[in-house]
Structure 1
Amino acid sequence: MCSCNAPQTLIDVRQIMPRMRHPLVFSTFDRLREGEGFVLVNDHDPRPLLYQFNVNYPGAFEWDYEEAGPELWRVRISRAAA
């Protein structure tokens, strides 16, 4: 099911305490249906988060950089279709 016309969910973690960022992102991802996603906004490349996604959700997600620095990163994270 594609949510192409659904409003875009945006999670801007720049003002969230670092220890709360990954749990927020993972809990948001866990609530997604196939094809749904959100955009993560950060002040640095969230590569460690990508590594965690590869360990916890291998093959179940898509990770697409919409903007890649140097001051702002935007990554669309979505649940892959089965």
Structure 2
Amino acid sequence: MTEPNADERVINVADIDPKYRHAILFRLFEHLASDQSLQIVVDHDPRRLRLQLEAQHGSRCNWSYLERGPDFWRVRLRLLPPEGKEASR
């Protein structure tokens, strides 16, 4: 298992009501500071979520698979600063 970073929140998606999952994950993602990350744990490949985040945020969506099944997928998400802007500390 991949340990979370110091500035990383870990969300087990199974703990969120399915009808609210994407809305909650979008909100958490959009409020990440440039030095923070969000790690999600899910029982399937969250490809649809990735496509939605990338459609909304483009190249600012940094998506890294930490674990790829078969029982669990772990993904680290970062919201990169807009081009030309440095990360705030």
Using structure 1 for the length normalisation, give the TM-score: 0.85
Give ranges in structure 2 of 5+ residues lacking alignment.
83-89
**Does residue 73 in structure 1 map to residue 73 in structure 2?**
yes
Give the Å deviation of 1:19.
1.2
Q: Which amino acid aligns with 1:43?
A: D
1:60 aligns with: 60
Q: Which runs of 5+ in 1 are unaligned?
A: none
Q: Does 1:23 align with 2:40?
A: no
Which amino acid is the alignment partner of residue 77 of structure 2? I
The alignment partner of 1:58 has SS state of helix
Contact 2:8 2:36 in 1 (8 A): no
SS of match in other structure, 1:11: strand
CA RMSD of aligned residues (A): 1.4
Q: SS of 1:24's equivalent?
A: helix
Deviations 1:49-82 (CA, angstroms, capped at 9, x unpaired): 0010111111111000000001100000001133
Q: Which stretches of structure 1, 4 residues or longer, exceed 2 Å deviation after superposition? A: 5-8
Whether 1:42 and 2:53 are equivalent positions in the alignment is no
Moved more, 30-39 or 46-55: 30-39
Q: Contact between 1:8 and 1:38, CA under 8 Å: does it hold in 2?
A: yes
CA distance in 2 between partners of 1:78 and 1:17 (Å): 23
Larger deviation, residues 6-15 vs 19-28? 6-15
Aligned pair count reads: 78
Task: Indicate the SS of the match to 1:51.
Answer: helix
- Counting aligned pairs with the same residue, the percent is 36
